[in-house]
């Protein structure tokens, strides 16, 4: 059950933002079928399948999409779906015969969700990359770290999951709502560089207002303020402090006294 109960999604197996997006939709109640390729696959950090928690909440079907009969089955599944998720380099699904034109011809109401690092077009569209590369180009990685030290990657939470998976999930849900009213599907094109740039909106506003700088480790939320930081305690454990508002700062001082 959930707000997306009754929604059917086909996921073409990939890594990073695609599986995360599919997991989010499944958590919200959608029925998601993951189409996986046969044989060994290089899908990022190697780990036993039971520990790949992004795969939870959905069934999987193994298909060699280069075989005509497998592609035909995939298209039949698409005909019954509300949405599709794919995260390949631009042009891959088109070459497989499962691109937006192929799928929307079969199912005009389909929301075709695709996520890439650099976008479907442009000078870097075919370039390889990972989360750290995308957030670097946009300038987000520069903001993480302490003053005078190297940038610190925030795991792959920003590019893959926030800017990629969650923006794609929101776009897919909006596309489904639109299709219910208009009867027309569409392509949701989520680029992680675009999503990351969007997530930087508030920070750029602070810089424009003179309330922040581009030098990391000097601002209120990036370890530049003593009242918003992490500190090691006498027992070796760490404590996070976030006393931004005056009343909380006063309480912090009272407790420390």
Tell me what the mean pLDDT of segment 172-187 comes to: 98
Q: Helices 17-27 and 167-182 meet at what angle, rounded to 10?
A: 60
Helical ranges in 63-130 per DSSP H: 68-79, 92-96, 100-106
Encode pLDDT of 4-40 as tens digits.
Answer: 999 999 999 999 999 999 999 999 999 999 999 997 7
pLDDT of residue 257: 84
Instruction: Kindly state whether residue 217 falls inside one of the protein's structural domains.
Output: no
Among 35-49, 53-67, 134-148, name the one with the lowest average pLDDT.
35-49
Quick one: which of 162, 154, 163 has its CA closest to 216? Answer: 154
In contact, 112 and 103? CB cutoff 8 Å: yes
How many other C-beta atoms lie within 10 A of the C-beta of residue 237?
7
In a domain, residue 130? The reply is yes
Residues 183 and 240 in one domain: no
pLDDT in tens, 180-226: 999 999 999 999 999 999 999 999 999 999 999 999 999 999 999 99
| Mean pLDDT of the 110-127 span | 97
Please indicate, yes or no, whether residues 141 and 234 belong to a single structural domain of this protein.
no
pLDDT digit string, tens, across residues 219-251: 999 999 999 999 999 999 999 999 999 999 999
For residue 35, give the CATH number of its domain: 3.40.50.10540
For residue 49, name the pLDDT band (cuts at 50, 70, 90): confident
- 161 and 64 belong to one structural domain: yes
- Same domain, yes or no, for 30 and 147? yes
Q: Virtual CA dihedral for 207, 122, 135, 28, nearest 10 degrees?
A: 110
pLDDT in tens, 59-103: 999 999 999 999 999 999 999 999 999 999 999 999 999 999 999
Both 250 and 142 in a single domain? no
Contact 10, 74 (CB under 8 A): yes
184/244 same-domain check: no
Please list, in sequence order, all residues whose beta carbon lies within 8 angstroms of the beta carbon of residue 82, skipping any fewer than 6 positions away. Answer: 7, 8, 9, 30, 109, 110, 111, 176, 179
Asked whether the predicted pLDDT for residue 47 surpasses 80, the reply is no
Task: Verify whether residue 142 is a known catalytic residue.
Answer: no
CB 71 within 8 A of CB 99: no
Catalytic residue among 82, 131, 160, 194: 160
Whether 31 and 61 have beta carbons less than 8 Å apart is answered as no
158 and 195 fall within a common domain: yes
How would you classify the pairing of strands 238-242 and 31-36?
Answer: unpaired
Domain membership of residue 169 as a residue range: 8-199
CB atoms inside a 10 Å sphere around CB 191 = 24
For residue 50, the model assigns a pLDDT of 86
Q: Is 215 within a domain?
A: no
Within a domain: 211: no
* 157, 33: one domain: yes
Q: Who wins on pLDDT, 185 or 43?
A: 185
130 annotated active-site = yes
* Mean pLDDT, the chain, whole residue set: 96
- pTM of the model as a whole: 0.94
Residue 147: CB atoms within 10 A of its CB come to: 12
């Amino acid at each position: 059950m959930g707000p997306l109960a009754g929604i059917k999604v086909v996921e073409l197996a990939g890594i990073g933002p695609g599986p995360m997006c599919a997991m989010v939709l499944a958590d919200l109640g959608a029925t998601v079928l993951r189409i996986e390729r046969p044989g060994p696959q290089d899908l990022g950090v190697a780990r036993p399948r039971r520990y790949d928690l992004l795969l939870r909440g959905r069934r999987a079907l193994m298909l060699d999409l280069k075989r005509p009969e497998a592609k035909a089955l995939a298209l039949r599944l698409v005909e019954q779906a509300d949405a599709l998720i794919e995260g390949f380099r631009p042009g891959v699904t088109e070459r497989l015969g499962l691109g937006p034109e192929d799928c929307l011809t079969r199912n005009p109401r389909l929301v075709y969700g695709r996520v890439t690092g650099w976008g479907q077009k442009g000078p870097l569209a075919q370039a390889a990359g990972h989360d750290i590369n995308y957030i670097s180009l946009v300038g987000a990685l520069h903001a993480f770290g302490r003053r005078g030290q190297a940038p610190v990657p925030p795991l792959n939470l920003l590019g893959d999951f926030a800017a990629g998976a969650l923006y794609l999930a929101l776009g897919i849900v909006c596309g489904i709502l639109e299709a219910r009213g208009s009867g027309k599907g569409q392509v949701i094109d989520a680029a992680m560089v675009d999503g990351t740039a969007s997530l930087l909106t508030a920070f750029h506003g602070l810089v424009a207002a003179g309330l922040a700088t581009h030098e990391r480790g000097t601002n209120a939320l990036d370890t530049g303020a003593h009242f918003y930081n992490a500190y090691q305690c006498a027992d070796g454990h760490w404590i996070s402090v976030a006393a931004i508002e005056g009343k909380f700062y006063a309480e912090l001082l009272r407790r420390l006294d």
